[in-house]
Amino acid sequence: MKAFELVSARDSNHAVALLAQQAGRKVRIIAGGTDMMADLKFAPASHSPEIVVDISRADDLKNIAVTDRGLSIGALVTHTQIMRSPVIREMFPALVEAAHTIGAVQTRNLGTLGGNLVTGVPSMDSGPTLVALEAIAVIAGPEGRREVPLADFWLGPRKTVLKSDELLAEVLIPKQNLSKPTHFIKFGLRKGQALALVNVASSFWVNWDKNTFVAPRIGLGAVAPKVIHAVKAEAFLEGKQVTPEVMAEAAQLASGDARPISDFRASAEYRKGLVAILTRRTLETAYELAKKKR
């Protein structure tokens, strides 16, 4: 590991100011450090940062709150805090399920939601559920804050829209999606501490007068260069009757939306089959949750 300078930020505004001061230098941000420390250990000297900005003390990035715009989750909220939050457990058990699949206990205690998202790994476990809930990435920079749909936050593997003087401040689940029935499933090669071969989350409302899908959204992970929407499946489901046959057809369409690769862990064909299976299961379970909430 190459030596670097470490500076600590008091809050998000101070962090942005520190980033702006380092124009032209190789800068990295550290919070929990569960991903970054591994990167630093094995990165070649040419890719090592000259300066690291520590934002772990920025308390304004650690809030979980329901606002007039929806559910706000600060970028420094840990996976364990998500699992223990009464608000999130009540409104979005799928987020709790996703957090529980991330690494080991130690990783969940230190690792942050923002860090997981900014890393931009396509197999991330926090991404599909948030994409299915149409979450918004709130980005802090020198000119203030800007917002982008989380699905557009990633440009590709380990690439985001963040500029060198910006940081992810919070994730906002819009008010219209609060308590939206949602389910998440991860499939890995072992039960714990495994990268996902495929992970899927589905959410939708139900028009109970007609028993039809309303605003169906499906997030797919580990099957494209970034977490994606299953757009064909979503369009197919809108307004359709909630039946096993419709869910099964949508699951096949979701498989077509996926663009997986073949590697030493699984073939693209196998992953596509998993997408269909997991999509159907997440739709079925989301419907059961909707019936319970009715």
pLDDT of residue 192: 72
pLDDT of residue 111: 95
Entry pTM:
0.95
CATH domain 59-176 topology: 3.30.465
Are 264 and 236 within 8 A, CB to CB? no
Instruction: Give the mean pLDDT per block of 10 residues along the chain (294 residues).
Output: 89 96 89 83 75 96 98 98 98 97 93 96 96 98 97 97 97 98 93 87 98 98 97 98 98 97 94 98 98 92
Tell me the one-letter amino acid at 34: T
CA 41 vs CA 44, 227, 260, 261: distances in Å: 9, 27, 29, 27
Residues 6+ positions from 16 with CB-CB distance below 8 Å: 140, 141, 142, 165, 166, 167
Question: Which region, left, alpha or beta, applies to residue 46 given φ > 0 means left and ψ of -120 to 50 means alpha?
Answer: alpha
pLDDT of residue 38: 76
Instruction: Dig out the tokens for 32 from the structure.
Output: 């929990």
Where are the domains positioned within the chain?
5-54, 59-176, 181-293
Query: For the chain, how far is it from start to end, CA to CA, in angstroms?
Result: 55
**Is beta strand 196-207 parallel, antiparallel or unpaired with respect to 144-149?**
unpaired
Are 228 and 219 within 8 A, CB to CB? yes
Please state the CATH superfamily assignment of the domain spanning residues 181-293 in this structure: CO dehydrogenase flavoprotein, C-terminal domain (3.30.390.50)
* 122/173 Cα distance (integer angstroms): 20
Q: Which helix (H) or strand (E) holds 48?
A: none
| Strand partners of residue 173 | 71
Tell me the one-letter amino acid at 258: A
